[in-house]
Amino acid sequence: MSGSPFTIALVQETDHGSAAANLDACERAIIEAVAGGARLVLLQELHNSAYFCQTEDPARFDLAEPIPGPSTARLGTLAGELGVVIVASLFERRAPGLYHNTAVVLDSDGRLAGVYRKMHIPEDPGYYEKFYFTPGDLGFEPIDTSVGRLGVLVCWDQWYPEAARLMALAGAEILLYPTAIGWDPNDGPDEQVRQCEAWVGIQRSHAIANALPVAACNRVGFEPDPSGATAGARFWGHSFVCGPQGEVLAQAGDQNPQILLAQIDPARTEQVRRLWPFLRDRRIDAYGDLTRRYRDRS
Protein backbone atom coordinates (compact mmCIF):
# COMPACT_ATOMS: atom_id res chain seq x y z
CA MET A 1 0.00 0.00 0.00
CA SER A 2 3.01 2.22 -0.32
CA GLY A 3 1.74 3.61 -3.62
CA SER A 4 -0.59 6.44 -4.53
CA PRO A 5 -3.92 7.22 -2.80
CA PHE A 6 -6.82 4.93 -3.61
CA THR A 7 -10.54 4.60 -2.88
CA ILE A 8 -12.00 2.14 -0.40
CA ALA A 9 -15.70 1.26 -0.34
CA LEU A 10 -17.70 -0.04 2.61
CA VAL A 11 -20.95 -1.86 1.79
CA GLN A 12 -23.35 -1.22 4.69
CA GLU A 13 -26.30 -3.52 4.09
CA THR A 14 -29.43 -4.97 5.69
CA ASP A 15 -30.58 -8.59 5.64
CA HIS A 16 -32.58 -9.44 2.50
CA GLY A 17 -33.93 -12.76 3.76
CA SER A 18 -31.73 -15.37 2.07
CA ALA A 19 -28.14 -16.07 1.13
CA ALA A 20 -28.97 -15.70 -2.55
CA ALA A 21 -30.65 -12.33 -2.06
CA ASN A 22 -27.89 -11.08 0.23
CA LEU A 23 -25.13 -12.10 -2.17
CA ASP A 24 -27.03 -10.48 -5.04
CA ALA A 25 -27.20 -7.24 -3.04
CA CYS A 26 -23.49 -7.44 -2.23
CA GLU A 27 -22.64 -8.04 -5.88
CA ARG A 28 -24.68 -5.05 -7.05
CA ALA A 29 -23.05 -2.85 -4.44
CA ILE A 30 -19.54 -4.01 -5.34
CA ILE A 31 -20.17 -3.26 -9.01
CA GLU A 32 -21.45 0.20 -8.09
CA ALA A 33 -18.50 0.81 -5.78
CA VAL A 34 -16.01 -0.08 -8.49
CA ALA A 35 -17.83 2.22 -10.90
CA GLY A 36 -17.24 4.93 -8.28
CA GLY A 37 -13.51 4.24 -8.31
CA ALA A 38 -13.09 1.71 -5.48
CA ARG A 39 -10.07 -0.60 -5.55
CA LEU A 40 -10.83 -2.22 -2.18
CA VAL A 41 -14.34 -3.20 -0.98
CA LEU A 42 -15.19 -4.22 2.59
CA LEU A 43 -18.41 -6.12 3.35
CA GLN A 44 -20.14 -6.41 6.74
CA GLU A 45 -19.88 -9.34 9.14
CA LEU A 46 -21.80 -12.51 8.13
CA HIS A 47 -23.32 -10.73 5.15
CA ASN A 48 -24.87 -13.87 3.64
CA SER A 49 -27.59 -14.15 6.30
CA ALA A 50 -29.39 -12.49 9.14
CA TYR A 51 -27.35 -12.23 12.31
CA PHE A 52 -28.34 -15.73 13.48
CA CYS A 53 -26.45 -15.58 16.81
CA GLN A 54 -29.39 -13.93 18.60
CA THR A 55 -30.41 -17.48 19.60
CA GLU A 56 -28.75 -20.87 20.05
CA ASP A 57 -30.23 -23.05 17.32
CA PRO A 58 -28.38 -26.13 15.99
CA ALA A 59 -30.24 -25.83 12.67
CA ARG A 60 -28.35 -22.59 11.99
CA PHE A 61 -25.17 -24.57 11.39
CA ASP A 62 -26.69 -25.41 8.01
CA LEU A 63 -25.83 -21.84 6.98
CA ALA A 64 -22.11 -22.61 7.13
CA GLU A 65 -19.97 -23.44 4.09
CA PRO A 66 -16.41 -24.55 3.41
CA ILE A 67 -13.62 -22.16 2.46
CA PRO A 68 -12.86 -22.31 -0.42
CA GLY A 69 -16.51 -22.78 -1.28
CA PRO A 70 -19.42 -21.36 -3.23
CA SER A 71 -19.24 -17.83 -1.80
CA THR A 72 -15.49 -17.49 -2.29
CA ALA A 73 -15.88 -18.81 -5.83
CA ARG A 74 -18.57 -16.27 -6.68
CA LEU A 75 -16.84 -13.33 -5.03
CA GLY A 76 -13.46 -14.36 -6.43
CA THR A 77 -14.85 -14.42 -9.96
CA LEU A 78 -16.35 -10.96 -9.39
CA ALA A 79 -13.08 -9.62 -7.96
CA GLY A 80 -11.17 -10.90 -10.98
CA GLU A 81 -13.66 -9.50 -13.48
CA LEU A 82 -13.70 -6.07 -11.84
CA GLY A 83 -10.04 -5.94 -10.80
CA VAL A 84 -10.94 -5.13 -7.18
CA VAL A 85 -9.93 -6.54 -3.79
CA ILE A 86 -12.94 -7.81 -1.80
CA VAL A 87 -12.95 -8.50 1.95
CA ALA A 88 -15.92 -10.71 2.81
CA SER A 89 -17.19 -12.37 6.00
CA LEU A 90 -18.42 -15.98 6.08
CA PHE A 91 -19.67 -18.68 8.44
CA GLU A 92 -16.99 -21.31 7.86
CA ARG A 93 -17.61 -25.05 8.14
CA ARG A 94 -14.11 -26.35 8.69
CA ALA A 95 -15.08 -29.90 9.68
CA PRO A 96 -18.10 -31.64 11.23
CA GLY A 97 -18.69 -29.84 14.53
CA LEU A 98 -15.95 -27.27 13.88
CA TYR A 99 -17.03 -23.82 12.70
CA HIS A 100 -15.47 -20.37 12.55
CA ASN A 101 -16.46 -16.76 11.94
CA THR A 102 -14.06 -16.13 9.08
CA ALA A 103 -13.06 -13.19 6.92
CA VAL A 104 -11.81 -13.95 3.43
CA VAL A 105 -9.79 -11.74 1.09
CA LEU A 106 -10.25 -12.10 -2.66
CA ASP A 107 -7.49 -10.36 -4.57
CA SER A 108 -8.00 -8.34 -7.74
CA ASP A 109 -6.95 -11.30 -9.89
CA GLY A 110 -9.73 -13.42 -8.36
CA ARG A 111 -7.59 -15.65 -6.17
CA LEU A 112 -8.24 -16.32 -2.48
CA ALA A 113 -5.39 -14.27 -1.01
CA GLY A 114 -5.96 -15.30 2.60
CA VAL A 115 -8.33 -15.86 5.50
CA TYR A 116 -8.64 -14.59 9.06
CA ARG A 117 -10.61 -16.45 11.73
CA LYS A 118 -12.20 -14.24 14.39
CA MET A 119 -10.13 -14.49 17.56
CA HIS A 120 -12.33 -12.87 20.20
CA ILE A 121 -15.73 -14.59 20.47
CA PRO A 122 -18.46 -12.80 22.48
CA GLU A 123 -21.16 -14.40 24.58
CA ASP A 124 -23.78 -11.86 25.59
CA PRO A 125 -27.60 -11.68 25.47
CA GLY A 126 -28.46 -11.56 21.77
CA TYR A 127 -24.85 -12.35 20.75
CA TYR A 128 -24.45 -16.07 21.49
CA GLU A 129 -21.41 -16.56 19.31
CA LYS A 130 -19.59 -19.08 21.50
CA PHE A 131 -22.34 -21.58 20.65
CA TYR A 132 -21.45 -21.32 16.95
CA PHE A 133 -17.82 -20.28 16.56
CA THR A 134 -14.52 -21.81 17.59
CA PRO A 135 -11.95 -19.09 18.36
CA GLY A 136 -9.53 -18.41 15.54
CA ASP A 137 -6.23 -20.25 15.36
CA LEU A 138 -4.43 -18.34 12.60
CA GLY A 139 -3.19 -15.50 14.79
CA PHE A 140 -2.98 -11.85 13.79
CA GLU A 141 -1.38 -12.11 10.37
CA PRO A 142 -1.89 -9.45 7.68
CA ILE A 143 -2.85 -10.56 4.18
CA ASP A 144 -0.90 -9.31 1.16
CA THR A 145 -2.94 -8.06 -1.80
CA SER A 146 -2.58 -5.88 -4.87
CA VAL A 147 -3.55 -2.81 -2.81
CA GLY A 148 -1.27 -3.57 0.11
CA ARG A 149 -1.03 -5.55 3.34
CA LEU A 150 -4.46 -5.78 4.98
CA GLY A 151 -4.91 -6.24 8.72
CA VAL A 152 -8.29 -7.95 8.75
CA LEU A 153 -10.08 -8.40 12.08
CA VAL A 154 -13.76 -9.09 12.85
CA CYS A 155 -16.29 -7.25 15.05
CA TRP A 156 -15.60 -8.11 18.73
CA ASP A 157 -11.88 -8.00 17.85
CA GLN A 158 -12.32 -4.25 17.35
CA TRP A 159 -12.51 -3.60 21.09
CA TYR A 160 -9.05 -5.04 21.79
CA PRO A 161 -6.00 -2.79 21.35
CA GLU A 162 -3.77 -5.86 21.50
CA ALA A 163 -5.24 -7.22 18.26
CA ALA A 164 -4.76 -3.93 16.41
CA ARG A 165 -1.21 -3.57 17.75
CA LEU A 166 -0.19 -7.09 16.75
CA MET A 167 -1.52 -6.51 13.24
CA ALA A 168 0.44 -3.25 13.06
CA LEU A 169 3.62 -4.91 14.33
CA ALA A 170 3.23 -7.57 11.63
CA GLY A 171 3.22 -4.85 8.97
CA ALA A 172 -0.48 -4.23 8.33
CA GLU A 173 -1.02 -1.04 6.34
CA ILE A 174 -4.75 -0.67 7.09
CA LEU A 175 -7.07 -2.24 9.68
CA LEU A 176 -10.39 -3.60 8.41
CA TYR A 177 -13.32 -4.65 10.63
CA PRO A 178 -16.39 -6.42 9.20
CA THR A 179 -18.99 -5.84 11.93
CA ALA A 180 -22.46 -6.72 13.21
CA ILE A 181 -23.27 -4.58 16.24
CA GLY A 182 -26.52 -2.98 17.30
CA TRP A 183 -28.73 -1.71 20.06
CA ASP A 184 -31.22 -3.53 22.18
CA PRO A 185 -34.43 -1.68 21.16
CA ASN A 186 -35.19 -1.31 24.88
CA ASP A 187 -32.09 0.82 25.42
CA GLY A 188 -32.83 4.50 25.96
CA PRO A 189 -31.52 7.14 23.54
CA ASP A 190 -28.73 8.27 25.88
CA GLU A 191 -27.44 4.71 26.25
CA GLN A 192 -27.60 4.21 22.50
CA VAL A 193 -25.48 7.30 21.93
CA ARG A 194 -22.93 6.17 24.53
CA GLN A 195 -22.59 2.74 22.97
CA CYS A 196 -22.16 3.98 19.42
CA GLU A 197 -19.70 6.69 20.41
CA ALA A 198 -17.66 4.14 22.36
CA TRP A 199 -17.60 1.86 19.30
CA VAL A 200 -16.33 4.63 17.05
CA GLY A 201 -13.97 5.95 19.72
CA ILE A 202 -12.16 2.69 20.43
CA GLN A 203 -11.46 2.11 16.75
CA ARG A 204 -10.29 5.66 16.17
CA SER A 205 -7.88 5.07 19.06
CA HIS A 206 -6.45 2.03 17.24
CA ALA A 207 -5.83 4.25 14.22
CA ILE A 208 -4.05 6.84 16.38
CA ALA A 209 -1.96 4.40 18.44
CA ASN A 210 -0.74 2.60 15.32
CA ALA A 211 -0.81 5.46 12.77
CA LEU A 212 -2.92 3.34 10.44
CA PRO A 213 -6.18 4.01 8.59
CA VAL A 214 -9.13 2.01 9.95
CA ALA A 215 -12.35 0.96 8.23
CA ALA A 216 -15.33 -0.59 10.05
CA CYS A 217 -18.31 -1.86 8.02
CA ASN A 218 -21.44 -2.54 10.08
CA ARG A 219 -24.83 -3.93 9.10
CA VAL A 220 -27.96 -1.83 9.50
CA GLY A 221 -31.66 -2.35 10.20
CA PHE A 222 -33.87 -4.21 12.65
CA GLU A 223 -33.64 -7.99 12.95
CA PRO A 224 -36.16 -9.77 15.21
CA ASP A 225 -35.18 -12.44 17.71
CA PRO A 226 -36.45 -15.68 16.09
CA SER A 227 -37.24 -17.11 19.54
CA GLY A 228 -39.28 -14.07 20.57
CA ALA A 229 -37.46 -14.04 23.90
CA THR A 230 -35.98 -10.57 23.41
CA ALA A 231 -36.85 -7.37 21.56
CA GLY A 232 -34.41 -8.25 18.77
CA ALA A 233 -31.50 -6.13 17.56
CA ARG A 234 -31.37 -2.83 15.73
CA PHE A 235 -28.01 -2.72 13.98
CA TRP A 236 -26.78 0.83 14.12
CA GLY A 237 -24.85 1.18 10.87
CA HIS A 238 -22.52 4.18 11.24
CA SER A 239 -19.89 2.40 9.13
CA PHE A 240 -16.84 4.66 8.92
CA VAL A 241 -13.32 5.17 7.68
CA CYS A 242 -10.69 7.14 9.58
CA GLY A 243 -7.13 8.15 8.86
CA PRO A 244 -3.92 7.49 10.82
CA GLN A 245 -4.59 10.30 13.30
CA GLY A 246 -8.11 9.07 13.94
CA GLU A 247 -9.63 11.70 11.67
CA VAL A 248 -13.00 10.55 10.30
CA LEU A 249 -12.82 10.54 6.52
CA ALA A 250 -16.35 9.26 5.86
CA GLN A 251 -19.25 7.91 7.90
CA ALA A 252 -22.58 6.33 7.00
CA GLY A 253 -25.93 6.89 8.67
CA ASP A 254 -27.78 4.57 11.05
CA GLN A 255 -30.98 3.84 9.11
CA ASN A 256 -30.30 2.62 5.56
CA PRO A 257 -27.98 0.58 3.38
CA GLN A 258 -25.20 2.69 1.93
CA ILE A 259 -22.05 2.44 -0.15
CA LEU A 260 -19.49 4.55 1.68
CA LEU A 261 -16.45 5.76 -0.28
CA ALA A 262 -13.28 7.25 1.15
CA GLN A 263 -9.81 8.12 -0.07
CA ILE A 264 -6.86 6.38 1.60
CA ASP A 265 -3.41 7.93 1.34
CA PRO A 266 -0.82 5.28 2.28
CA ALA A 267 1.98 7.84 2.53
CA ARG A 268 0.41 9.46 5.60
CA THR A 269 1.36 6.54 7.87
CA GLU A 270 5.05 7.29 7.37
CA GLN A 271 4.47 11.01 7.91
CA VAL A 272 2.47 10.51 11.10
CA ARG A 273 4.84 7.95 12.59
CA ARG A 274 7.76 10.37 12.17
CA LEU A 275 5.90 12.95 14.28
CA TRP A 276 4.28 10.52 16.75
CA PRO A 277 6.82 7.68 17.12
CA PHE A 278 4.76 5.41 19.35
CA LEU A 279 6.43 2.28 18.00
CA ARG A 280 9.89 3.71 18.76
CA ASP A 281 9.07 4.53 22.38
CA ARG A 282 7.26 1.34 23.35
CA ARG A 283 8.77 -0.22 26.50
CA ILE A 284 8.66 -3.80 25.30
CA ASP A 285 10.96 -4.76 28.18
CA ALA A 286 8.22 -3.83 30.67
CA TYR A 287 5.09 -5.35 29.08
CA GLY A 288 5.39 -8.96 30.20
CA ASP A 289 2.29 -8.79 32.38
CA LEU A 290 0.12 -8.23 29.31
CA THR A 291 0.16 -11.99 28.82
CA ARG A 292 -1.53 -12.50 32.20
CA ARG A 293 -5.32 -12.57 32.58
CA TYR A 294 -5.16 -10.20 35.57
CA ARG A 295 -2.74 -9.25 38.33
CA ASP A 296 -4.38 -10.45 41.51
CA ARG A 297 -3.43 -8.59 44.68
CA SER A 298 -3.00 -10.55 47.90
Report the SS3 class of residue 161: helix
Helix 70-82 crosses helix 19-35 at what angle (to 10 degrees)? 20
Q: Using CA atoms in the order 293, 194, 243, 159, what is the torsion angle rounded to 10 degrees? A: 20
> Active site residue: 53, 155, 196, 242, which one?
155
Specify the DSSP element, H or E, that contains 262. Answer: strand 258-264
Task: Please give the Cα distance from 252 to 157 (Å, whole number).
Answer: 21
Task: Please give the Cα distance from 223 to 238 (Å, whole number).
Answer: 17
Task: Please give the Cα distance from 238 to 64 (Å, whole number).
Answer: 27
User: Could you tell me the sign of the dihedral formed by the alpha carbons of 168, 274, 200, 23, in that order?
Assistant: negative
> Active site residue: 45, 92, 129, 223, which one?
45
Closest CA to 240 of 209, 273, 196: 196
**Residue 91 backbone dihedrals phi, psi, to 5 degrees:** -90, 105
Residue 118 bears catalytic tag:
yes
Residue 191 bears catalytic tag:
no
Residue 217 bears catalytic tag:
no
Q: Label residue 263 exposed, middle or buried (CB < 10 Å: 0-12, 13-18, 19+).
A: middle
Report the SS3 class of residue 271: helix
> Active site residue: 118, 129, 173, 242, which one?
118
Instruction: Give the chain's count of helices (H) and strands (E).
Output: 5, 17
Task: Please give the Cα distance from 201 to 243 (Å, whole number).
Answer: 13
Catalytic positions, please? 45, 118, 155
